[in-house]
Chain A
């Protein structure tokens, strides 16, 4: 029984590790080694990394970073007080809660067509601004949903005590409640960042040129000039490594956020 369990977990680890190992190796392989999957030994090369520098991948990573940071910043600025009002005062009632849940589940296919036309009319196609607007459609509801759950977990008596001690409503929120949910805000920020950083659909439709984000850039290695497998793998590493490091620290809090506070880990 116990041995079976160990084997199962080990097999799962191997299945997860195999694609990582392949990408990691391919990012340092030359064309000859890439075209011969049966061969195990190869001479490592930095050719692929030179290639992605000259192909503008670093620029796309910068665009992705800018888009994700602004999207998350705006979402936190607007979502934190909103989530507090919804959690504490049931402001806006069930309709607001349902609206937030609904915008979280809307398929991007519905919103992308009007966003495309608005971008066309305002002549802001292929800019970071329009990608930020499109990413707000899913990051803002998710971040707010996360935060409602975290605010729900702060006991009311905390602010009541603070207000008895002479704090105003706003001061009680800023100085007593906010520090309590800081870990939650951190988790929500990282989760929102990952959602924005990983999005392909909106960025592909709204900004395929100068303002292309990293996922669009990665997809591009597959479309033009044949396949440049090694460079593509190097670009994948640029995209994946920072995100994994960030997520490593917040996975426990993700659970509570994802379930809207319904579950603790």
Chain B
């Protein structure tokens, strides 16, 4: 019986079955939930169509969370890219303690994010933290989790943990570039800056696109830092989509609404993938 199927399907089948079970089935269930008014506290559930999605448009808290998330993603990924590129370039030429330096600088990406959030919560804490204490000794008083600075602080925490990821990918990209264009630029007497903008950056573009894509997709899911430090506050200054969905679903138990919020996030993520994938493919077609 089994022998009638080619080996390729026998190899693929378990994967497809398991993915269907743990991903496709919950996903379908989630679509259905987002079309209902399901809550845990009330037993009866009714079909409400797109009402949950419609109500998100007028939900002020949701709008704020969306704006905070977009600001977070743009700034975190932008800073990580710039810093990561600078570090990758510096590390490419570094000779002394080369492997040890690289290995050490990459470690933050392996620390569990809740621990990173909590570490910075207390490092930056007004009473217990060494950083405000050090700033205080030179007469500076900074409230890192106040209304103005809370979101930038969370961006900074993300930068601490995930810049190494950018370095890892960009350094690999830099070291796999062909030598000839650089030698030609040198022969032509191009300056370091000109070589960087006209040779390095264009050659590195596909790698940069992959790095931005992987980082941005992850940054949209930011949860742990908010959960560890501000819990969305002060007010709603650091409320992000993933954190709002957590509260809506599992503190207020409005599961239908939480599912609908999730799918808007999926839409955003797919839009981003499509845009970046297209720019990536166009580049490859030209090359």
Does A78 lie within 8 Å of B18, measured CB to CB?
yes
Known: A109-B241, A229-B122. 10 other contacts (CB 8 A): A16-B107, A19-B123, A38-B133, A79-B15, A105-B273, A137-B26, A201-B224, A240-B112, A240-B115, A251-B106
Q: Closest approach, in angstroms, between the C-beta of A186 and any C-beta of chain B?
A: 16
Please count how many residues in chain B sit with their CB below 8 Å of the partner chain's CB atoms: 90
Q: Closest approach, in angstroms, between the C-beta of A115 and any C-beta of chain B?
A: 5
Q: Is B262 an interface residue (CB 8 A)?
A: yes
Residues of A within 8 A of B30 (CB): 110-111, 113-114
Interface residues on A, range: 35 or more
Does A144 lie within 8 Å of B29, measured CB to CB?
no
Does B23 lie within 8 Å of A107, measured CB to CB?
no
Does A255 lie within 8 Å of B172, measured CB to CB?
yes
Complex CA–CA separation, A35 to B132 (angstroms): 13
Q: List 25 A-B contacts (CB under 8 A).
A: A9-B105, A19-B116, A37-B129, A78-B15, A81-B10, A81-B12, A88-B8, A91-B9, A103-B23, A105-B269, A106-B27, A107-B242, A109-B249, A110-B263, A112-B249, A114-B30, A137-B23, A140-B19, A141-B19, A200-B223, A215-B112, A236-B112, A236-B115, A258-B169, A265-B176
Residues of A within 8 A of B (CB): 2, 5-6, 8-9, 12-13, 15-20, 22-23, 26, 34-35, 37-38, 74, 77-79, 81-86, 88-89, 91-92, 96, 99-100, 103, 105-118, 133-134, 136-137, 140-141, 144, 169-170, 194, 197-198, 200-201, 205, 214-215, 218-219, 221-222, 227, 229, 232, 236, 239-240, 243-244, 247-248, 251, 254-255, 258-259, 262-265
Does B105 lie within 8 Å of A12, measured CB to CB?
yes
**Minimum CB distance partner of A38 in chain B:** B133
Does B8 lie within 8 Å of A103, measured CB to CB?
no
Q: Closest approach, in angstroms, between the C-beta of A52 and any C-beta of chain B?
A: 13
Residues of B within 8 A of A34 (CB): 128
Instruction: Decide yes or no: A107 and B11 within 8 Å by CB, A19-B160, A113-B30, A262-B210 being known contacts.
Output: no
| Docked complex: B223-268 residues within 8 A CB-CB of A | 223-224, 227-228, 241-242, 245-246, 249-250, 255, 258-259, 261-263, 265-266
Complex CA–CA separation, A244 to B110 (angstroms): 6
Q: Closest approach, in angstroms, between the C-beta of B269 and any C-beta of chain A?
A: 6
Which 6 A-B pairs rank lowest in CB-CB distance, beginning with the nearest?
A82-B15, A114-B29, A85-B11, A110-B262, A81-B11, A89-B8
Residues of B within 8 A of A134 (CB): 22
Residues of A within 8 A of B127 (CB): 35
Complex CA–CA separation, A222 to B229 (angstroms): 10
Residues of B within 8 A of A259 (CB): 169, 172, 207, 210
Does A82 lie within 8 Å of B210, measured CB to CB?
no
Residues of B within 8 A of A (CB): 6-12, 14-16, 18-19, 22-23, 25-27, 29-30, 33, 86-87, 90-91, 93-94, 101-108, 110-116, 118-123, 127-130, 132-133, 137, 160, 164, 168-169, 171-173, 175-176, 206-207, 210, 214, 217, 220-221, 223-224, 227-228, 241-242, 245-246, 249-250, 255, 258-259, 261-263, 265-266, 269, 273
Does B15 lie within 8 Å of A144, measured CB to CB?
yes
A-B Cβ contacts below 8 A, count: 257
Q: Which of A37, A81, A116, A236 is close to B118, meaning CB atoms less than 8 Å apart?
A: A236
Instruction: Decide yes or no: A140 and B18 within 8 Å by CB, A114-B33, A236-B118 being known contacts.
Output: yes
Complex CA–CA separation, A52 to B19 (angstroms): 37
Does A19 lie within 8 Å of B8, measured CB to CB?
no
Complex CA–CA separation, A108 to B214 (angstroms): 15
Does A201 lie within 8 Å of B242, measured CB to CB?
yes
Instruction: Decide yes or no: A114 and B108 within 8 Å by CB, A15-B160, A109-B262, A255-B169 being known contacts.
Output: no
Complex CA–CA separation, A239 to B130 (angstroms): 23
Complex CA–CA separation, A194 to B42 (angstroms): 38
Residues of A within 8 A of B102 (CB): 251
Instruction: Decide yes or no: A22 and B119 within 8 Å by CB, A85-B11, A219-B228 being known contacts.
Output: yes
Complex CA–CA separation, A244 to B120 (angstroms): 19
Residues of A within 8 A of B91 (CB): 9
Does B110 lie within 8 Å of A247, measured CB to CB?
yes
Complex CA–CA separation, A118 to B25 (angstroms): 10
Does A96 lie within 8 Å of B16, measured CB to CB?
yes
Does B263 lie within 8 Å of A37, measured CB to CB?
no
Complex CA–CA separation, A99 to B27 (angstroms): 12
Does A136 lie within 8 Å of B105, measured CB to CB?
no
Residues of B within 8 A of A133 (CB): 22
Does A19 lie within 8 Å of B90, measured CB to CB?
no
Residues of B within 8 A of A77 (CB): 14
Does A74 lie within 8 Å of B94, measured CB to CB?
no
Does B29 lie within 8 Å of A265, measured CB to CB?
no
